[in-house]
A and B are shown apart, each in its own frame.
Chain A
Amino acid sequence: MRDVAVVGFAQRQMQDFDGSPTCVELLVPLFAECYEQTGWTRRDVGFWCSGSSDYLAGRSFSFVQAVDAIGVIPPVNESHVEMDLAWAMYEAWLKIQTGEVDTALVYAFGKSSAGVLRRTLSLQLEPYTMTPIWPDTVSLAGLQARAGIDAGVWDERAMAEVANRSLTDAEKNEYAVRKGGSSVDELLARPVYADPLRKHDCAPVTDGAAALVLAAGDRAREVTDRPAWIRSLAHFVDPMSMGTRDLTRSPSAQRAGEACDLDGVEVAELHAPFSHQELVLRRELGLADDVRVNPSGGALTSNPMFSAGGIRIGEAARRIWSGEAARTLGHATSGPALQQNLVCVMGADH
């Protein structure tokens, strides 16, 4: 295996992006930040991979136009996943493992506010018996939240504690769409929305884009003295049907965690778009109580579709660059009720 590190990260998260769904105008400054962080030009990038969704953009091949932000003369080595940035990163990591390239810039974008997000995402579901009844994302999460409450695995107070901590931490995050913690009692006094979920239990609809830079071996050391070396990376998937899954669990998250070495992780950025999902993930990954979870505020405070998972990896990498932590974890999810899960453990040591 080649040693590969995260050496660059740029993000934008906003409630409403006043621009086109291809987000080209958003990506240009993000790439500029990545060039500045690395000292590279676009010619130094060996592989490009993006994550986005045509359903979000409302137009076909939306990722092709986004390539404008790269510039393609001379031609670039480029790919796309209809998935979150974290999976684009996984592809890039594999590409670097093949030895074909040493560096990669991966990015993702999505203008969630262009349509009705919770409805658009119904198209991710099993197409014969689920999509035709348009179960929206919030409802599917609500079924999961109730399952856990009924089973006594968590309660509304535990969910509110997650939300309150996230909103409080988000005060330090300039990109957070929602921020400002108050108290668990105050949150519990707010009205129930999609019973048993309150609005603060659900990630806000968020537009945005993000980019991560990967480099192997010496190319990473050229960029920074303290690269965030990817120590392990794994992803697994659970069945799509809601009926055959124990919704209080996430076996795929558990297996992804098991496949990685989580010992010594100090900070975990978990992609949990609903408050109870952080509780599921914490348990499935077996994180100790002293692991700092989502110091960025997490997806509950801004969740740009197709970048939010990768942003967790970027946030976790940043804590290594800054010296704040020596070992961190970034997690990404996709699909209904934590169906797919990716875990990336990074370390400063080499």
Chain B
Amino acid sequence: MARTLSAPVTVAFDYTRSTGPVLGRFLGGLREGVVVGGRTSDGRVVVPPPEFDPVTHEPTQDFVEVADTGTVTSWTWVPEPVKGQPLDRPFAFALVTLDGADAPLLHALDVASPADVHTGMRVRIRWREERTGDITDIACFEPAPDAAEVAAPREPLRTIDPVTGIVVPVELDYLYAASPEESLFYTSLSQGKLVGQRCPRCGKVYIPPRSACPSDGTPTTDEVPLPDTGTVTTFCIVNVPFLGQRITPPYVSAYVLLDGADIAFLHLILDIPAEEVRMGMRVKAVWKPESEWGTTIENISHFAPTGEPDADYDTYKQHL
């Protein structure tokens, strides 16, 4: 059995990229259903066009249209597609040299089995119906009848409105594991207890426990139960709304130094107007009802003032 707690986590964000004149023209072409290649100084037509010539390092300026039919120059089978790939059933990735080009383009090829693909086979682009100017405007390649003759590259017949930017969504799934020390912390929370660990060398107490003392690198082995009372060392008033926010601003996010701990941790301070929260304020955890507890710091709904006199600055000045 695993000695650690783990949970699925998805990390997602969008990359927003400017495209520049060369890729902008290529992607603009895709939006029109046209494949644009770039002619390099050695006379080759490369798709997608390289931004700079591989030999002269000059910006690519000579653009040509190539066909949307081509020949497979290499391929591999994808028996277990991963999220985000062009097809969600087994397919082939292929390098396809489009007619009129001298260098292959990488994309998916929609065939039912590896028996249906071979190097040298003729394929054509299956265009996405609604095109927006990115590489997925090419839905994939599909088998095509053998062409009698292969089209030559030609000067662009139309003016292409270049794409100036693209948005690439990234979404990654993890099974996120806590360290053994953190796992102890979260397991204890599910029993309503706060547990830290003490460095055997320097005596500092860390909560949540860390695998090693950040001061001296010693593994923190000694468990230390900690109370749920502490002192606000520093705080900020959150006024800005953001995605995923659970409380309406303004509210206070603060570092709370539990009594007996050497490191403060972040939590909410509620039950008091935001403008009255101050450094040195004494606070106590407000726990959710026990029936709602899990292995999470959210078992503590927030911290609230105890009404005690403020702590002396000297008692927490080393922990700011």
Contacts and interface: CB of A to CB of B under 8 A. Distances in A.
Contacts of B178: 20
A71 interface: yes
Interface stretch (A121-129, A253-261, A263-271): A121-129
Nearest to A115: B174
Q: Which of B48, B82, B107 has the most CB of A within 10 A?
A: B82
Contacts of B108: 133
Contact of B212 (A71, A115, A118): A71
Contact of B211 (A24, A130, A131): A24
B157 interface: no
Interface in A137-164: 138-147, 150
Contacts of B4: 18-20
Interface in B33-66: 46-48, 50, 54
Contacts of B78: 136, 139, 194
Given A22-B179, A150-B74, A119 B82 contact: yes
B177 A24 contact: no
Given A69-B217, A114-B176, A119-B84, A195 B95 contact: no
Interface size class of A (residues with CB under 8 A): 35 or more
Interface in A1-48: 18-22, 24-25, 27-28, 31, 42
A175 interface: no
A133 B23 CA distance: 16
A120 interface: yes
A243 B50 CA distance: 10
A139 B85 CA distance: 11
Interface stretch (B143-151, B164-172, B268-276, B280-288): B164-172
A59 B181 CA distance: 18
Interface string A187-213: 000001111110000000000000000
Interface in B172-186: 172-182
B76 A145 contact: yes
Interface string B106-131: 11100000100001000000000000
Given A68-B211, A242-B95, A128 B217 contact: no
B216 A71 contact: yes
Interface stretch (B11-19, B226-234, B240-248, B306-314): B11-19
Contacts of B19: 128
A244 interface: yes
A72 interface: yes
Given A58-B11, A114-B177, A130 B172 contact: no
A120 B83 CA distance: 10
B304 interface: no
Contacts of A69: 211-212, 217
Contacts of A114: 174-177
B23 A128 contact: yes
A303 B173 CA distance: 21
Nearest to A130: B106
A76 B89 CA distance: 51
Contacts of A244: 46, 50, 54, 103
Nearest to B134: A132
Nearest to B30: A129
Contacts of B11: 58-59
Given A19-B4, A241-B50, A195 B76 contact: yes
A70 B213 CA distance: 9
Given A135-B93, A143-B74, A247-B74, A28 B79 contact: no
Contacts of B136: 132-133
Interface string B1-36: 011100001010001010100010011000000000
B210 interface: yes
B215 interface: yes
Given A20-B4, A28-B219, A129-B23, A242 B106 contact: yes
Contacts of A19: 4, 177, 179-180, 211
Contacts of B48: 128-129, 241, 243
A55 B172 contact: yes
Given A19-B177, A25-B212, A147-B73, 13 more contacts: A18-B4, A24-B210, A25-B211, A58-B174, A115-B172, A119-B84, A123-B170, A129-B26, A130-B106, A130-B135, A132-B136, A136-B78, A193-B79
Interface of A: 18-22, 24-25, 27-28, 31, 42, 55, 58-59, 67-73, 111, 113-116, 118-120, 122-123, 127-136, 138-147, 150, 192-197, 239, 241-244, 247
15 contacts: A19-B4, A19-B179, A20-B211, A55-B172, A59-B11, A71-B213, A71-B216, A128-B19, A129-B23, A129-B26, A133-B107, A133-B136, A135-B106, A139-B93, A147-B74
- 5 closest cross-chain pairs (CB), A and B: A142-B76, A71-B217, A195-B77, A20-B179, A24-B211
